[in-house]
Amino acid sequence: MIKVWTDAAEAGRLDRHGERGSTFAYQPGAPPARAVSVTMPVRLESWSAPFGLLPIFEMNLPEGVLRERLRLAFAKATGTFDEFDLLSIVGRSQVGRIRYTGDKEQLHEDVPFQSVDEILERRRGGDLFRYLLEKFASFSGISGVQPKILVRDDKAFAEMEHTKHRLSQSYKGATHIVKLWEPNEYPQLAANEYFCLGVARKCGLDVPPHRLAEDGMAMVIDRFDLRMEGTYRGFEDFCVLNGRRTDQKYRGSYETSVMKRFGQFANSTHVNEDMEKLFTLIALNCALRNGDAHLKNFGIVYDDVQGEARLAPVYDLVTTSVYLPKDSMALTLNGTTKWASAKELQRLGETRLGASPARVREVLERIDAGIATTTTELRAYLKEHAEFEEIGNRMLHEWEQGSRFR
């Protein structure tokens, strides 16, 4: 049995159910604001899934490398290790406002301190990657295939004293995400993402502060769900909003599963502004040739589960076609995953956004301009980093292909 907490208060209990399923019941008397998801209001009847976990509980389970590492470290003598076991391990430290503990336990987030500067400057030497994964894997309730961890920067509190915002000293949770990569699989992935996020920022999208390690081996990004008082905002990805399991993240269309769905859950006075950002992001994914813009790479954030939901800041932007030359879009647009043309994006903007043709054109031109400026920065970085030459040049080629919107 697992105890589920929202906003540091008990919400209910989660248990295995039947052969392979699970069931969740809210605590009697739980107020509506304690709902675990915008898709799961507080009610007397329990919520069940015939297989595995309900999407909101599955949302932050590590995939890929991190999952395999945890499986190896924690699989019982019998060799069994399911999602329930994984959630029990990483449940105390998660992206968003939900936490999980044992049935009789209290909350105990306490992520160890780790200097982010040490990671960026590689002061620890060659084995940093393995050290970080070993130490922080069980505090890393974060999804995704690429190796990554959640850390608590030992300078996060002091640094912010210089600004008006000061992170509460009672803060025990993770402050940053460290994204690493395996050299043999996706070389220079951190630099790739770093420059792609740079383009997004230039297009006027919200991008959390992010830094690239001096040797390009890691990218560190601030958590966008962190509040100054030491609590976290709600976050839900579009797998949850669509009621899908993680293994269905490549199913759906940008029109319905992303844009229309966002409109249904936004519940915000900023919906038009956010919808334009969402459209910009979809178009940007095409321009950057990111074939991994699936349902888990879009999300909403909120302070109150019953209140306004905003589009989450941008994350996970990568020119994937430098690794997979035949790559295409992760979801369909107009019934196909072929990279959308300027004309198709123009139509998407006019119909789903309801914007004037001139306004949509302006968005597409902003993307072109963002790519042009970042191209200059990328070229400068290339000059200093020979190891980035091959991937960097391929990125420039892909961006050129993708950004011919005019």
Ligand X SMILES: Nc1ncnc2c1ncn2[C@@H]1O[C@H](COP(=O)(O)OP(=O)(O)OP(=O)(O)O)[C@@H](O)[C@H]1O
Residue numbers of the site for ligand X (CB under 6 A)? 63, 95, 142-146, 148, 177, 208, 221, 223-225, 237, 292, 296-297, 315-316
Residue 92 CB, shortest distance to ligand X, in Å, is 16
Residue 163 CB, shortest distance to Mg ion, in Å, is 29
C-beta closer to Mg ion: residue 59 or 89? 59
C-beta closer to ligand X: residue 148 or 366? 148
Binding segment (CB under 5 A) for Mg ion, from list 41-49, 108-116, 140-148, 345-353? 140-148
Binding segment (CB under 5 A) for Mg ion, from list 10-18, 224-232, 297-305, 342-350? 297-305
Site for Mg ion in 212-251 (CB under 5 A): none
- What's the rounded Cα separation, in Å, for the pair 58 and 61? 6
Across 133-162, b (16+ Cβ under 10 Å) vs e yields: beebbbbbbbbbebbbbbbbbbebbeeeee
The residues near 3 (Cβ < 8 Å, ≥ 6 apart) are 10, 13, 14, 100, 101, 102, 103, 105
Q: Of 52, 96, 144, 234, which one interacts with Mg ion (CB under 5 A)?
A: 144
User: Considering only CA atoms, which of 319, 254, 242 is closest in space to residue 282?
Assistant: 254
Which DSSP string corresponds to 258-271? Answer: IIIHHHHHH-STTH
Q: Which does 145 bind (CB under 5 to 8 A by kind): Mg ion, ligand X, none?
A: ligand X
- Asked if 396 contacts 378 with a C-beta cutoff of 8 angstroms, the reply is yes
Q: Which does 289 bind (CB under 5 to 8 A by kind): ligand X, Mg ion, none?
A: none
Residue 209 CB, shortest distance to ligand X, in Å, is 9
- HSE-up of 402 (CA within 13 Å, CB side)? 31
Residue 296 CB, shortest distance to Mg ion, in Å, is 5
- What's the rounded Cα separation, in Å, for the pair 27 and 1? 14
The two tokens of residue 36 are 């675990």
C-beta closer to Mg ion: residue 30 or 56? 56
Residue 76 CB, shortest distance to ligand X, in Å, is 27
- Asked if 47 contacts 36 with a C-beta cutoff of 8 angstroms, the reply is no
Binding segment (CB under 5 A) for Mg ion, from list 159-167, 237-245, 289-297, 306-314? 289-297
Number of residues located near Mg ion, criterion CB under 5 A:
3
Residue 30 CB, shortest distance to Mg ion, in Å, is 31
- Asked if 350 contacts 359 with a C-beta cutoff of 8 angstroms, the reply is no
Binding segment (CB under 5 A) for Mg ion, from list 65-73, 79-87, 269-277, 295-303? 295-303
- CB count within 10 Å of CB 391 equals 20
Residue 320 CB, shortest distance to ligand X, in Å, is 9
| Residues within the interface to Mg ion (CB under 5 A) | 144, 297, 316
